[in-house]
């Protein structure tokens, strides 16, 4: 599939924002984050800002962005519509939780319930986003359970690293945050490695024989290509990334998305405060590069079964 930069930005930015919202809300409700106005403002502004930026960028991939609101009415049958409804719904309890934390200095009682609701809706939104792709049986590299698990794992891992940065910057860091970030990164690394290993072994169950229903008579082959020149389908659905380039990009993702941030966070545990903050900034920078590379590969390595009509 042709990687669309707007969708790459949407899925990476909103995923990190939702991950940060989930962890910040749960830690605040549990009393592990102080209910100070500035900390709450910066943390929630970063989380909701990333979510809003991601959602806004997704509209640039639509043929008619002005009709985006109409998509919300198809929630009974469309994961895209469900994702939009859940994204909008998440802002309601998140806003109430923000009022309690930022303006009233409270994260308990009603505001605690709002924080938990925002966390659950954020998780549901990430799952719905991933199901937009995982529900497509015509793309074998996406039609698997590892896709929603991977989206959720990467969202929580990136949110955990962002939380590390915010808490170190405000001097309210705890060892619990280190443990959560390290475990989240390790889990996400294992899931992503498993996903890549799985798609390397995938072979499509569709061919010209199954597509035409003539396979029972013997091998089916093309007499001529459907088109004499490149067209939209070949550009969007048949995008191909060379195996050697995919291998190099996977190595970059392994280093920048997982190994680099892990090394930086573990080193920061034993470093002075200023050095630990600098290491966490480096971890976030590496994470951003790694996420963009990983998500570009997610699209570039996927192949739509309609390409069998072009002899691919």
CA distance 42 to 214: 61
Model pLDDT, residue 137: 84
The structural domains of the chain, ordered by start, are: 5-203+230-310 (1.20.1630.10)
Is 235 within 8 Å of 2 (Cβ atoms)?
Answer: yes
Given pLDDT bands bounded at 50, 70 and 90, which one contains residue 115? very high
Is 119 within 8 Å of 25 (Cβ atoms)?
Answer: yes
Among 48-57, 179-188, 206-215, the least confident range? 206-215
Task: Please write the tens of the pLDDT for every residue from 240-269.
Answer: 676 678 889 999 999 999 999 999 999 999
CA distance 156 to 150: 10
């Amino acid at each position: 599939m042709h990687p669309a930069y707007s969708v790459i930005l949407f899925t990476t930015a909103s995923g990190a924002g939702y991950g940060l919202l989930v962890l910040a809300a749960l830690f605040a409700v549990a009393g592990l984050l102080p209910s100070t106005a500035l900390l709450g403002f910066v943390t929630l502004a970063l989380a909701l800002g990333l979510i809003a930026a991601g959602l806004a960028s997704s509209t640039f991939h639509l043929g008619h962005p002005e009709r985006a609101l109409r998509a919300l009415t198809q929630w009974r049958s469309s994961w895209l519509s469900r994702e939009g409804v859940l994204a909008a719904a998440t802002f309601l309890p998140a806003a109430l939780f923000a009022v309690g934390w930022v303006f009233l200095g409270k994260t308990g009682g009603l505001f605690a319930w709002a924080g938990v609701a925002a966390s659950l809706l954020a998780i549901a939104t990430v799952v719905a986003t991933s199901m937009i792709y995982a529900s497509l049986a015509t793309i074998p590299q996406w039609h698997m359970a590892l896709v929603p698990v991977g989206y959720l794992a990467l969202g929580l891992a990136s949110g955990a690293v962002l939380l590390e940065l915010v808490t170190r910057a405000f001097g309210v860091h705890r060892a619990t945050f280190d443990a959560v970030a390290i475990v989240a990164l390790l889990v996400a690394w294992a899931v992503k490695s498993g996903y890549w290993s799985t798609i390397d072994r995938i072979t499509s169950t569709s061919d010209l024989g199954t597509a035409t229903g003539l396979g029972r008579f013997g091998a089916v082959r093309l007499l001529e290509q459907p088109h004499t020149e490149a067209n939209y389908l070949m550009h969007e659905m048949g995008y191909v990334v060379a195996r050697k380039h995919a291998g190099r990009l996977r190595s970059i993702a392994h280093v920048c998305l997982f190994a680099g941030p892990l090394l930086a966070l573990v080193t920061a545990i034993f470093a002075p405060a200023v050095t630990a903050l600098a290491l966490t900034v480096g971890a976030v920078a590496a994470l951003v590069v790694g996420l963009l590379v990983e998500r570009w590969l997610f699209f570039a390595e996927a192949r739509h079964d309609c390409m069998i009509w072009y002899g691919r």
